[in-house]
Amino acid sequence: MMLNKDYDQVIDKLVDWIKTKVTDAGCQGAVVGLSGGIDSAVTAALCKRAFPDNTLGVIMPCYSNSQDQKDAKKLVEKFDISSKVVDLSNTFDQLLLAVEGEKEEEKMAVANIKPRLRMTTLYYYASKRSSLVVGTDNRSELKVGYFTKFGDGGIDLAPLGNLVKLEVREVAKRLEIPEQIITKAPSAGLWDNQTDEAEMGITYEELDKYILTGEASPKVKEIVDRLEAQNAHKLQLPAIPEI
């Protein structure tokens, strides 16, 4: 499926790209949110290569699966990445109380609070450290808008933005990301047992094949085209009328 790239060369190019973008912005390093998943693991490892002494990984549990935090900690230990743990559970509760949210009746509206709190936290540390927030969004997620607007989509750089999910896995193998992180089911961690593929209704393999080759079953094509159109606003600047 056209995955035969030189991924070692891809890694070198991405590291150079991150260095250039950060320094061109007059900044000194990178801040990355660590979810315990493959995308954040790859992004953090690339940033560590770009800025060995100024990469910060922020682990932000918010009623999260405890295994995710363990995987994130394993990653920072393996790559010697400076890290902080900021538990956002109480903050989430207080905000939900303030807006009188109902956890069950307004599931998506409530779930999206979590990535938006994480975005605020990342920008706090980025401002403190004269750094950019480096996002973890890949090409597959960007294609269908599978991210929270002004949440995990609220970033300065998206180094994985031209790699589909299957390509991110190839990069992860070259970087020697822990196997349990590479093979775990992708999840945004929005609620218990939530997975990307179950929520989208298609697999990443089906999505990536459609992106790379244009080939898909009618069902996959319908889902991808609908999500792309429905979420196009997430990739655009706010609309401003002409007067």
Which domains, and CATH codes, for the chain? 7-235 (3.40.50.620)
pLDDT digits (tens, 9 = 90+) for 32-91: 999 999 999 999 999 999 999 999 999 999 999 999 999 999 999 999 999 999 999 999
Parallel/antiparallel/unpaired status of strands 29-34 and 131-133: parallel
| pLDDT of 19 above 60 | yes
Q: Are 47 and 19 in contact (CB under 8 A)?
A: no
pTM of the model: 0.93
* Number of residues in the chain: 243
pLDDT at 2 over 90: no
Residue whose entry in the numeric block shows the structure tokens 């995987």: 71
Look at residue 214 in the predicted model and tell me its pLDDT.
95
Alpha-carbon distances of 177 from 73, 119, 136, 139, 203, rounded to whole Å: 12, 24, 15, 20, 22
Q: Structure tokens of 173?
A: 């193998």
pLDDT tens string 163-190: 999 999 999 999 999 999 999 888 777 7
Give me the helices (H) in the chain, please: 7-24, 38-50, 66-79, 89-98, 107-111, 113-128, 139-144, 165-175, 179-183, 196-200, 204-213, 218-230
Helix (H, G, I), strand (E, B) or coil at 93: helix
Tell me phi and psi for residue 83, to 5 degrees. Answer: -145, 160
